[in-house]
Amino acid sequence: MKLSVAMITYNHERFIGQAIESILAQNVNFEYEIVIGEDRSTDGTRAVVKEFYRRHPDRIKLLLRDRNVGAMRNFIETINACEGEYVAFLEGDDYWTATDRLQKQVDYLDTHPDRAICCGRARAVYESGTEKFEGRWDLVPPCPAGTYTVEDTLKSSFVLLCTTVLRREFVPLFPQWLLEMKLGDWPLCAMVARHGKVELMDEIMAAYRVHIGGTWSSLPHVTRLNEAARMLRALDKEFGYQYADVIREAMATPYLDLARTSRSKGRRVDTAKHVVHYIRNGGWRCPGSARAVAGLITYGVIGCWYKVFSRAKSADQN
C-alpha cells in the first residue's frame, strides 16, 4: 500500500460527505486506503460513513468505536491502523481543494528521501456563528514556502495536518502523555521531523473549516496558548531537553505579545496576567526581554508605563 489517509470524525454529519468525496476525487497512479475513525457520533455521521463504505469497500477501512474514546485516542488509534508507506490526514469537517495534491506530494517524497514531511497551505472557511472568534485568518501558514527543520516545527505549528503527507516509518510509538493533550498534530509533526526535513509547498491544498463545533478553533485564544505550552513542556521532556531553548521561547513569546497588546488597550489586569504566564513559561530566560518585561510589570503593578518601556521599545527596534 502506497498511502493511507487517516480521517477522524465526530459529529460531522454536515461536513463528512464533502470530506470523503474530496479524497475519492484524487487523481493518483498508486494504491491508497481511507482509514476512518468514527468516534461514536451522536448525529448522523456514522450512517454517512457506513454508506460510503458500502459504495467503496475496497477503498475504505472503517473503525467504528463502541463508545466515545475522545479525539486524541481516536487520532492515535486511527493512525496506528494505517498500512501505507505514507500517511495523509483529513478531519471530517475539512476538505481537500486540489485533486492532484496527493500525487504531487508522493512524487516529491519519493524523489527526496531526506524529507520526512511534505505539506502545503489551506484556506479558512468560516461557518455561521464564528464571527466573534479570536485570531481570524484567511490563508495558513503565512511563512514562506521552502525547507524547514525540527527546530522550526517546535517554534510554531506551521505544518497544517490537512495538507500533510508524511513517512509512516517515522511515526513513533505514541507516548502516554499525548492522551492527556488537546493538541496531537503539532507534537506528531515535531516527532516525525526529527528524522528528516519538512518541505512546505506554495500551493493551496485544502479548506480548513472553522465552526462553533470545532474542538480547537472554538477555544479562547489564551486557552489555546496554555494548552500549547502544556504540550510543549511534555514534548521537551520527551526529547530529553535537546531543544530546550527553542521550546522555551515558543512557550513564552506569545504571552509577551499578549501583554503588549493588553497594555496598548489599557488593560492592566490582563497585562499582569500575561506577564506572569510569560515568566512561568521561562520567558525570563529569553534574550533581550528583560527591559520589556520590567516595563510591563511596572505598568501592571502601578499603572504607569514609565521610562523603562521607552528604553525597551527602543532596544526592540534596534
Spell out the CATH class of 3-210. Answer: alpha beta
Q: Which amino acid is at 79?
A: I
At CA 237, angle to CA 235 and CA 239, rounded to 5?
70
Is residue 137's pLDDT more than 90?
no
What DSSP string runs through 256-296? HHHHHHHHHTT-HHHHHHHHHHHHHTTGGGSTT-HHHHHHH
Q: What digits encode the pLDDT tens for the residues 165-206?
A: 999 999 999 999 999 999 999 999 999 999 999 999 999 999
Q: What band does 313 get if pLDDT is binned at 50, 70 and 90?
A: very low
Query: How far is the first Cα of the chain from the last one, in angstroms, to the nearest whole number?
Result: 54
Outline where DSSP puts E strands in the chain.
3-9, 32-38, 60-64, 86-89, 95-96, 115-126, 139-140, 146-148, 165-167, 197-210
Q: What digits encode the pLDDT tens for the residues 251-287?
A: 877 777 777 777 787 888 888 887 777 777 776 667 6
Q: Which amino acid is at 82?
A: C
Domain spans of the chain, in order of start = 3-210, 243-317
CA dist 271 and 291 (Å) reads: 15
Outline where DSSP puts E strands in 60-161.
60-64, 86-89, 95-96, 115-126, 139-140, 146-148
Q: Can you give the pLDDT at residue 278?
A: 76
Q: Which helix (H) or strand (E) holds 49?
A: helix 45-55
Q: Can you give the pLDDT at residue 297?
A: 67
Comparing CA positions, the residue from 84, 241, 265, 234 lying closest to residue 165 is 84
Q: Can you give the pLDDT at residue 248?
A: 85
